[in-house]
Amino acid sequence: MSRVGNAPVSIPDGVTLTIDADVIKVKGSNGELQKKIPSSVGVSIDDKLVKFSLKGSDNQSRSHWGTTRAHVANMVKGVSTGFTKNLEINGVGYRAAMQGNKLQLNLGFSHPVEMLVPEGIKVSVEGNTKIAVTGADKELIGMFAAEIRSKRPPEPFKGKGVKYAEEYIVRKEGKKK
C-alpha cells in the first residue's frame, strides 16, 4: 500500500497555512485556497511542516490520508509558485484569441467557440496557436484545459485539433488505393 500520507509537506516562506475545524486554508502570493479535510485524517502544523495522521484503519481512511496530503501539497505549491497547462492548436485556420474575460476559439466550425474564463485562472494566447492556462488551483486549471481540449480533440490522421503541448498524437495511415 502507498505511504504518501507519511511524507510531511514543507511550508515555504511567504505562505501561511491555517486549520479551522475541518477546513484547511492556504494563503500566498498567488492567492488563497481552501479545502475540507475528511474526518478520518488528522492534520497538524509543526515548525513549517504539515503532518498528516490516520484516525481510522480501514482502506477508505488510508485513501483519504494520502489524497489529503497530495491536495495540501498542491495547494501550497499553487499559492507559492502556481501551475501552468500549455495547449497547442493545429490546423489550417484554427486560432485562439482573448477578448476581455472570454477565450474565443476558431476551430473549423461555422461559428466561433467562446468560453468564459473562470475566476482565479489567467489565460494567455501567444501567436494565435499557443494557449497557456495559469493559476493557483491545480484542479481548476486541469478542468478548464480539458474543457478547451474537448471543443476539438486532435484527430489521428492529420493531427488537427487542440492538444496539450506535451501530448503525442499517434498518427494513423490514410486509405490505400
Residues 96-123: pLDDT tens digits?
A: 999 999 999 999 999 999 999 999 999 9
Which grid cell is 62? Answer: 488510508
Q: Where are the beta strands (DSSP E) in the chain?
A: 9-10, 16-20, 23-28, 31-36, 41-46, 49-54, 83-90, 95-99, 102-106, 113-116, 121-126, 130-135, 161-164
Q: Does this chain's domain 4-80 share its CATH topology with 83-164?
A: yes
The residue type found at 31 is G
Which CATH number among 3.40.830.10, 3.40.50.10440, 3.40.50.261, 3.90.930.12 corresponds to the domain 4-80?
3.90.930.12
With 90 as the cut, is the pLDDT of residue 21 above it? no
Residue 175 — pLDDT band, cuts 50, 70, 90? confident
With 60 as the cut, is the pLDDT of residue 88 above it? yes
Contacts of 97 (CB under 8 A, 6+ apart): 103, 104, 125, 128
Residue 1, pLDDT score: 56
The residue type found at 69 is R
Report domain extents, the chain: 4-80, 83-164
Residue 35, pLDDT score: 93
Class (C level, CATH) for 83-164: alpha beta
Query: What's the CA gap between 47 and 9, in Å, rounded?
Result: 11
